[in-house]
Structure 1
């Protein structure tokens, strides 16, 4: 006696699945007068719409009855296709558009301000302006720590040298005006050199 194969799945369909199958069968029956290609396209579009609606990340509808209600009567769908157009509400649910990449900030405004304070600003305020510029540059990500350290050194050493010249002039007396002039030139020159040393890095970053 031959044994009966056991690979048949006799699990009854869920009621919601039956509703979907009945709806698709109704669409198939109502569209028998359409061209075969158009009929297949309609069936595929309706089936895809139902599947997409049930799994849509934006607005999922797990209950097929709500989806079928939105689709409308099968005859109305077929009538619209017969008139030469696919119903607008049959289009797949809109997938949320990806967020646009962050707009390129006017990154460079603070960096340019820092360099301006190091160069032009140093002529007006030899100590305060370069210090403010270096602080702005230190908070920027455009330059590496090594570049920032080099800028601090280039600006600070001449300023320290100028301070020592003024101090020596005060202690030993004489040549005060010359010492002040040399101190001023050292502070301004060091700050300008520090600012100019950062320009190539700034220009190179702007190319990305």
Structure 2
């Protein structure tokens, strides 16, 4: 006869946590998502088996599912998932840097010198489609690249319309259109380097 006893409150806590983590990681690659879920489930099971630790305390130790998911997106498993006095839980490997990520940063830092507006726009399109950077990093890069470029473009248009001496204004406009994307590329570069090192 099947056991129809209701789940214990502590088991419900664990299942709810795993369900929330699954929902938070729907944007991850399937292999990475499965690896994370297996690691967390194994962590909970081994904690309970090793010392009979309260599942409620284990869930608190894991932290909010969104924080754990964000850490994995940055390419590293939080160190508290490695069990002291037990064999360490395997960390989720960071994916190797995609060629398009390097191309995106190159378009922002170098391409803008030769093709202002066009190259940075292409670079930011690649950045936006990459899982490598967080939404906050992408938004900051958009602001850093777009605002100076827009100001430079408006300055050039104003110079053409309002004055006959447009040489200095064109130079200032060009520098603004180049400097903004260049700074944006520099802000993305550390994250690219960090994740590349983690993948080795």
TM-score normalised by the chain length of structure 2: 0.50
User: RCO higher in 1 or 2 (8 Å CA, sep ≥ 6)?
Assistant: 2
Higher helix share: 2
**TM-score normalised per structure 1:** 0.48
From the CA coordinates, give the structure whose radius of gyration is larger: 1
